[in-house]
Amino acid sequence: MQMQFDLAALKMEMQAPAVGRYAAQVYRAEGYSAHAEDENVIARAYAIRSLFVSHRKHLYDNDRFAGSQRGMYAEVSAEAAEAARAICAPYPERGFHTNSDHYGANYSHFLTRGIGGTLEDIDASLVRYADDAEKTSFLRAARIAMEGFAEMILGYAGEAEKKALAADGDDKLRFAGIAARCRRIAHDVPQSFADALQLVWFTYIAFAYEGRYAMAFGRLDQYLYPFFARDIASGVLTEEEATDDLASVFIKIGERRSLGGGDDVSNIAIGGVKPEDGSDATNALSFCILRAVRRCFIPGPNLSARIHKDTPKEFLDACLEVIGTGLGYPALMNDDVNIPALHRMGYSIEDCRDYCMVGCIENFIQGKQPPWSDGRFNTPVYLEYALNNGCSLLDGVKRGIETGDPDSFATMDDFMEAFTAQLRVGAKNYVESFNRVNTVADSINHQSPFLSCFCDDCIERGIDINRGGAKYPTAHGACGMGIATVADSLAAIETLVYRDKVLTLGELRDALAANFEGYDDLRKKLIDAPKYGNNDDIADKYAIWFVDAQADLFDSYRTPDGGRYYIAIASNTQNISAGREVGATPDGRGAGLPVSDAASPMRGMDRSGPTASALSLCKPDYTRVACGTVVNQKYTPDMFGNAEKRAKLGAVIRSYFLMGGQELQINCVSKDTLRDAQAHPENYASLVVRVSGFSAYYTKLDRAVQEDILARTEHY
């Protein structure tokens, strides 16, 4: 029987501000200085080892599991910090667009091998590639880094032993247990649920020490389940105790904010199907994870629930109950769309069934491809270029290609050809720009020996994760902005210009260039035209076209290492910044205002209720969208507190997914609450909302983001 756990006390401890300076670079510099004469990858490995070993091993008084980012802060002088920067400068790190983070490790494999088994695997490859200097250097570096990881864990064991000596009663037993667990997993394969959870948490912390962000936990309820089930069966663990264990770890994902770094978007996937046969994978641990995040009630982890046609209704209802607390997660992901979408990219069906999410909603083959990257493809701006012969309506600068005067387009098909031509050039420019940024000329000097230990085939091949070691090459997501802005604009053009002939395309262009000043009547007609999200085929057919056109544009392109370009219909909060680049649009939107959010209807324009909205949203073929989508909806809290209403909402979601919807995430908060939070933020410090692909504290958001959330349609 485990001891009582005080989550509130641990959460309170974590609120203390960091003391000292973030010292990661200082610790790296120690390793670099001592191995300045070694080749780059070896020096990097020693810098990683120093990072792991040298930092202070901080344990909270109420810790149930070891591992904290607080120990990375130390009393370091400005002079020492500057000297460390100079030492580290010749060893630049990869960034997001060069595949550094947003990664899901193969925790399942790592837990079966442990640190000791991983070192054995490295040694076997060292023998295999004894005559290949480049591979042996990489493998030696991986061994140095993994040994440093083991030393880090032993360092925590020593600190826990000190805490145990100074404590008494249950606290003494608790810290002694932490110490024994750390000493065990520093080499041996985890034997219990607590062992496995501790090793996973240490790995996450080590990635954080390396400076990696949005590192996913992946399918936590799958790879921890064998340990969980064995402990439950033997009577050494209860579901309540497992929930406590999980909560004591999840709460520390929020530690980063306390230390001044903001929230980490660490995605956890639960539910879904089994990789071997596609049968339902939901288990008791899936429910424990839901209960744990509910107890923590913080913006992270970024929980994602994989739903499919055979998902138990109890699981979906449990997800809705957690969403109804106001957390805004789990986000709901449709396996019956995502798996075929990934399979279309050339991955094995077993690997596709085992997908997780990294960052916000990005689909990822866990532990089998290099870290993720994505970027913003501002589709509405190319609509503007088609209307203005390649020129911006904001400043008149020519940024597109010449596709003709708008009045030369006799039919809607003529205009669509011009729009497609602008998009084609835009996609080409996007790919060329990203490929330049993504290409690391001296990749041999930008290796990641520790990260590579958590990716299939890197150790076996003796090759770094970003140099061909991974089973699959990189994938990049082009996030198409403004599906509803485009669909609504095209519907307005078809209706008013080509069907009703209320005005010419040239006259529409002039009204847009004037940002509707002097065109109030026309603007009202544009706003009243068919809108996506109301089950109106005129608008919806252009959303269908939008997805197909984006997929067609990027399908033929490849990343520098031969991987695929995915598309996403997602925007994070970039619909706001994207809107600043776009003049007024034919849907009635004003110049510089946000474009529509992700894959959602334009806020406030889905006026026919949630069922009509769902019918529109599932019409595009999202099996062509391998990255994923974000659909934001907002419901009043009483929808979730009433079991009957919750069941009806669950039925709508199931129907939406069966008809081809890819993703859904829900805010459960009223407009009145949000307005009051703006006026009195001091009363709403703990108010969590779903922003886009992540949740956040509402009062900490930029005002423009707050307003964007407020403007979303509120369903009843």
Q: String of b and e for 360-385 (b: at least 16 CB within 10 Å)?
A: bbbbbbbbbbbbbbbbbbbbbbbbbb
Residues 195, 201: Cα–Cα separation, whole Å: 10
Of 305, 347, 352, 348, the residue nearest 329 (C-alpha):
305
Describe the crossing of helices 483-492 and 537-555 by its angle, rounded to 10 degrees.
Answer: 130
CB atoms inside a 10 Å sphere around CB 579: 27
Looking up tokens 């519907």, which residue turns up? 491
Residues 69, 14: Cα–Cα separation, whole Å: 11
DSSP symbol at 714: E
Looking up tokens 């064991």, which residue turns up? 157
DSSP symbol at 564: B
| 161 classed as catalytic | no
| Per annotation, catalytic residue among 362, 384, 494, 663 | 362
Question: Residues for the chain: how many in total?
Answer: 716
Helix (H) or strand (E) holding 547: helix 537-555
Tokens matching residue 24: 């990661």
CB atoms inside a 10 Å sphere around CB 453: 25
| Per annotation, catalytic residue among 356, 360, 455, 627 | 360
Tokens matching residue 351: 């690997």
Residues 251, 246: Cα–Cα separation, whole Å: 9
Name the pairing type of β-strands 73-74 and 21-22. antiparallel
Helix (H, G, I), strand (E, B) or coil at 26: helix
Kindly give the residue spans of alpha helices, DSSP state H, lying in 225-305: 225-234, 239-250, 255-258, 284-296
DSSP symbol at 331: E
Helix (H) or strand (E) holding 304: strand 302-307
Class of residue 404 by CB neighbours under 10 A (exposed 0-12, middle 13-18, buried 19+): middle
CB atoms inside a 10 Å sphere around CB 685: 11
| 362 classed as catalytic | yes
Class of residue 332 by CB neighbours under 10 A (exposed 0-12, middle 13-18, buried 19+): buried
Helix (H, G, I), strand (E, B) or coil at 299: coil
Reported in sequence order, the residue ranges of 391-509 that DSSP labels E, i.e. its strands, are 476-480
The answer to whether 638 and 681 are in contact (CB under 8 A) is no
The answer to whether 698 and 689 are in contact (CB under 8 A) is yes
Of 47, 311, 104, 299, the residue nearest 220 (C-alpha):
104
Helix (H, G, I), strand (E, B) or coil at 69: coil
Question: How many Å from the N-terminal Cα to the C-terminal Cα in the chain?
Answer: 45
Helix (H, G, I), strand (E, B) or coil at 361: coil
Tokens matching residue 95: 């960034």
Q: Angle at Cα 657 formed by Cα 651 and Cα 663, nearest 5°? A: 115
- Say how many CA atoms lie within 13 Å of 123 toward its Cβ: 7
Q: Which residues are catalytic?
A: 360, 362
